Amino acid sequence: MDTEKAKNAVIIILIILNAVIFFLVREKENAYSLHSTQISAINTVLGQNRISLQTRLIMDFSPRKQLAMSEAGFDYGVLEGLLFEDGEELVRTRTFERERWVGESGRVVIDIESGVFSFSASRMLGDEGPRAVNERAARDFCEAFLEEFAYKSGTGLAFTFAGDQRYERDYIVQYMGMHDGMVIGSTIAQFSFDEYGLYEFMCRIAVPEGLTDIAHEIYSADEALFVLARELNERYPGMSFHISGMEMVYFFDESGGNSLAQPSYMFTIKDRTEDVSDITGDNSIRVFVDAYTNSVIRGSGLGFETF
């Protein structure tokens, strides 16, 4: 009888212990999840600042790790065979700030400090260049190009479609880097097409190596939105905006010898002001907010990330 009572007591203790553990886990999870009062407050603040939210909020703000990046500069030589004809003779020059390649197909300028690679096709190519018959053909060309680039570079990088813009005569497509399902906001490839085909290609490549061991606290989405509202008011006073996209990405800044990419909120914003100002260009901007410091990393008055 005593044995039976002891067993029952142990079972009761285990049930209570499990309930306490469940409560503590739920409390910990809820501590890193937005609540309805926070969502209501940020919607009110955005409305007062002429900003409408037309995308899902990132509800979870649990601690995030940094992404270690390769300290060695990326070798853009892998792009040579993708942009120039086989055996094409290139004249190469280099100064302290820039490296240039010039050939019959076009010219390349590599900014040493920022790591931006820019290819401009020679207009002499005419119809011989890859034609952009339509948007689908242009996208097919870009994806085949990036797939071959990923294979030849050996970096393990993949790319995901990040947006496109149609102008009167031009079509611009942009992709961002991917690594193990994580978007690398600072790895960008941008293609520009006209009726002759590809006329410009720009990229900045940061190569990821893997996540660090330690996770750090991050700011929540509503706190990042407060910062974003202030940034938009300062840059474009009196204008109205839609926030059409919000995503957690990793952003890498090489300044100061840094080799770690930070988790960052990436916002895509469209202008909804009737009297469109020249400052917004094609009426869409992209702003990154560092999730560790809750400060704006980079905003742009262009359709895509400024190089």
Residue type, 215: A
Of the candidates 307, 221, 220, the residue with the CA atom closest to the CA atom of residue 267: 221
Architecture of domain 75-205: 2-Layer Sandwich (3.30)
pLDDT of residue 16: 55
What's the chain look like in SS3? CHHHHHHHHHHHHHHHHHHHHHHHHHHHHHHCECCHHHHHHHHHHHHHCCEEECCCCCCECCCEEEEEECCCCCCHHHHHHHHCCCCCCCEEEECCCEEEEECCCEEEEEECCCCEEEEEECHHHHHHCCCCCCHHHHHHHHHHHHHHHHHHHCCCCEEEEEEEEECCCCEEEEEEEEECCEEEEEEEEEEEEECCEEEEEEEECCCEEEEEEEEECCCCHHHHHHHHHHHHHHHCCCCCEEEEEEEEEEEECCHHHCCEEEEEEEEEEEECCCCCCHHHCCCEEEEEEECCCCEEEEECCCCCCCC
Residues 6+ apart with CB under 8 A from 281: 301, 302, 303
Residue type, 63: P
Are the C-beta atoms of 246 and 228 separated by less than 8 Å?
no
∠ CA 150-155-158, rounded to 5°: 45
CA atoms within 13 A on the CB side of 220: 14
Residue type, 99: E
The pTM of the full predicted model, rounded to 2 decimals, is 0.75
Main-chain phi, psi angles of 259, to 5 degrees: -130, 25
Are the C-beta atoms of 235 and 299 separated by less than 8 Å?
yes
Q: The CATH number of 34-65+215-299 is which of 3.90.1200, 1.20.1440, 2.30.29, 2.40.128?
A: 2.40.128
Main-chain phi, psi angles of 220, to 5 degrees: -80, 165
258, two tokens: 């840094």
| Measured distance CA(249)–CA(261) in Å, rounded | 9
230-260 confidence digits (pLDDT tens)? 888 888 888 888 888 899 999 876 655 568 8
Task: Quote the longest CA-to-CA distance of the chain.
Answer: 98
Are the C-beta atoms of 238 and 245 separated by less than 8 Å?
no
Count of beta carbons in the 10 Å neighbourhood of residue 120: 14
**Low-confidence spans in the chain with pLDDT less than 50:** 7-8, 10-11, 14-15, 18-27, 124-132, 274-282, 299-307
Cα–Cα distances in angstroms (integers) from residue 286 to residues 57, 131, 204, 253, in the given order: 16, 29, 16, 17
